[in-house]
Amino acid sequence: MRIDVLSLFPEMFTHVFGSSILKHAQQSGLVTYQVVDFRDYANNKHRKVDDYPYGGGAGMVLRAQPFFDAVDDLVKEGQKRPRVVMLCPQGERYSQKKAEEFSKEEHLILLCGHYEGYDERVREYLVTDEVSIGDYVLTGGELGAMVIADSVTRLLPGVLGNEESAVTDSFSTGLLEHPHYTRPAEYRGMRVPDILLSGHHKNIEEWRSRESLKRTWERRPDLLERKNLSEKEQKWIDE
Ligand code: ADE
């Protein structure tokens, strides 16, 4: 998969794309990241990427031209039109479902605005998806682009060592994860639940399912609204 980012602050991505799993995924050839400074595409003497708003008013507006030219340059002739994702607070709220959808694409282009709005023609004619990473306002789209790149990369086949961990983690199953423990069995008087030490795999599985469901019910009941619970699961919640 190929993930291109258009940003005025490409240095912000150095550590995120150059560390840990994202670095390893890139070294293994499973993904390539390219961060492009779209100021390089500004077709004016001072490389200005913004301008005054038509109709007047405070603030500046990001010009359409650098975005259109940069995307033209990133899309090779004959290539299928990639998804072009704009990071902005008024976009669709990002979710695991959207990450799964994006992970099936061959090529994503992520647009990061800063300080000001985008010329509406970028939204209307260039962008295929508008994404917000939450109901708060950031200084720019970069952190959102990192969130998308990270959550999508870990879903690519071969990126996570243990294939299971992407399948059973929170949200993929529609539930929050059950509690985890590791050695020692007792620490400062705090004991690991006996059942996990019992070696009884079937009971352990059942305990995990119940804890996962209980935790979801307590913390994120909204996640259960669309889920059909079995009689047994409903009883666990009612207890
Ligand atoms: N740019 C500014 N705020 C944002 C948000 N919440 N999500 C995505 N991009 C943004």
Q: What ipTM score was computed for the predicted complex, to two decimals?
A: 0.98
Q: What is the pTM of this model?
A: 0.94
| Residue 41, pLDDT score | 98
Q: Where are the alpha helices (DSSP H) in the chain?
A: 14-17, 20-27, 64-74, 96-103, 120-125, 142-153, 163-168, 194-197, 201-219, 231-238
Q: Is 55 annotated as a binding residue?
A: no
CATH number of 173-238: 1.10.1270.20
Identify the residue whose C-alpha is closest to ligand 1 atom 7: 132
| Of 102, 104, 100, 61, residue with least CA distance to 85 | 102
Which residues of the chain does CATH 3.40.1280.10 include? Answer: 2-153
Residue 169 among the catalytic residues: yes
The CATH topology of domain 2-153 is Alpha/beta knot (3.40.1280)
Tens of pLDDT, residues 58-104? 999 999 999 999 999 999 899 999 999 999 999 999 999 999 999 99
What is the band of 226 on the pLDDT scale with cuts at 50, 70, 90?
confident
Residue 116 among the catalytic residues: yes
List of residues 6+ apart from 170 with CB closer than 8 A: 176, 177
Which residues of the chain does CATH 1.10.1270.20 include? Answer: 173-238
Q: Which residues line ligand 1 (CB under 6 A)?
A: 87-89, 132-134, 136-138, 140-141, 144
Residue 154 among the catalytic residues: yes
Tens of pLDDT, residues 189-220? 999 999 999 999 999 999 999 999 999 999 99
Both structure tokens of 118: 């985008």
Average pLDDT of the chain?
A: 95
Q: Is 36:4 a contact under the CB 8 Å cutoff?
A: yes
Judged against a pLDDT cut of 80, whether residue 239 lies above it is answered with yes
Identify the residue whose C-alpha is closest to ligand 1 atom 10: 88
Q: Which of 89, 208, 210, 211 is catalytic?
A: 89
